Every structure is written in C-alpha cells, then in structure tokens.
C-alpha cells in the first residue's frame, strides 16, 4: 500500500541511471551464440500471381537460410477463421505485404541487405471479384438504402 507522502512524487528507480546514460542492456543488445537474424520478403502487390522468385547471383546464398513455401513441410496454412491463410505465399498473393520468402543470417545487417537482392516477378491481378447472380448489387450499408426519418 502506498503511503500518502509518496503520491505525486517521483519514484527513484534502481535502473534509471543506467538507462539514461545508455549503459543498460536490452534484449536487442544481447546476441547469444548461434543466433540467426531473420527478415521477410513481402508482396508489394495487393493481389497477383507469383511468376518467379529471382535470387541475385552476387550474393553467396549458401551462407543464408532461405525459406519459401516449397520448404514448408505439411500444409502451408495458418488456421484463422478458415484454413485459407498461407504461412508463405506460393503461387498467389491475396493481400499487400503477404510474406513470400524468409531469410536468416548470423549478421543482422547482411540478412537485411540480402532482402533487397531478391526480386519477385508478378502478374498483378487487378480484376474485381465477380459476384454471384444471387448476390444483391447493393450492400446493407449502401447510401441508397439509408432513409431519413425526418
């Protein structure tokens, strides 16, 4: 229970000096032996077909761990509401920033730099989804369905 004289006063923190002087260690400052730093290559398109994934030959890819949908054992799916969200896009992307490739390396900066040396050939899909004939052309919140009671 707080004493009445403590309310409204600064509390001395034993780690405060180390934090404000930059001497405190944070999780990001510690790299245990064998740590791999990972980055994700994501889709820049909202919807489209992946035609090819190209790895720049100037990068020594054998020094990296590279994972695509083809490397996932079993079903490539995360169950959200339905089993329709892949861990990594394989042939189609269904939303912007969908993960396509994972890269890991012992050096964080090299992992991040390698990401920029992977290019993905796309066939963007700009077609709108077709409605079935049983679907109304108006939605429940269409302005034409809102009526004033005044």
Domains of the chain: 38-126 (3.90.1170.50)
- The three-state secondary structure class of 101 is strand
Q: Which of 46, 73, 59 has the alpha carbon at shortest distance from 113?
A: 59
Dist CA 68 CA 60 (whole Å): 17
pTM: 0.68
Eight-state DSSP code of residue 90: S
Q: Residue 21: which pLDDT band, with cuts at 50, 70 and 90?
A: very high
CA 78 → CA 83, 89, 94, 102, 119, distances in Å? 6, 12, 14, 16, 25
Q: What would the pLDDT profile of 34-57 be if each residue is shown by its tens digit?
A: 999 999 999 988 899 999 999 999
Dist CA 146 CA 148 (whole Å): 7
Q: Residue 147: which pLDDT band, with cuts at 50, 70 and 90?
A: very low
């Amino acid at each position: 229970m707080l004493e009445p004289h403590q309310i409204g006063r600064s509390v001395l923190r034993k780690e405060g000096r180390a934090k404000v002087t930059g001497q405190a260690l944070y999780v990001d400052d510690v790299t245990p032996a064998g740590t791999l730093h990972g980055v994700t290559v994501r889709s820049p398109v909202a919807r489209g077909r992946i035609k090819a994934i190209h790895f720049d030959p100037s990068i020594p890819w054998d020094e990296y761990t590279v994972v695509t949908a083809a490397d996932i054992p079993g079903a490539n799916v995360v169950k959200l509401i339905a089993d329709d969200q892949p861990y990594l896009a394989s042939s189609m992307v269904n939303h912007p920033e969908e993960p396509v490739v994972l890269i890991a390396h012992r050096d964080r900066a090299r992992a991040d730099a390698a990401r920029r040396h992977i290019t993905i050939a796309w066939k963007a899909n700009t077609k709108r989804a077709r409605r079935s004939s049983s679907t109304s052309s108006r939605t429940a919140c269409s302005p034409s369905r809102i009526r004033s009671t005044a």
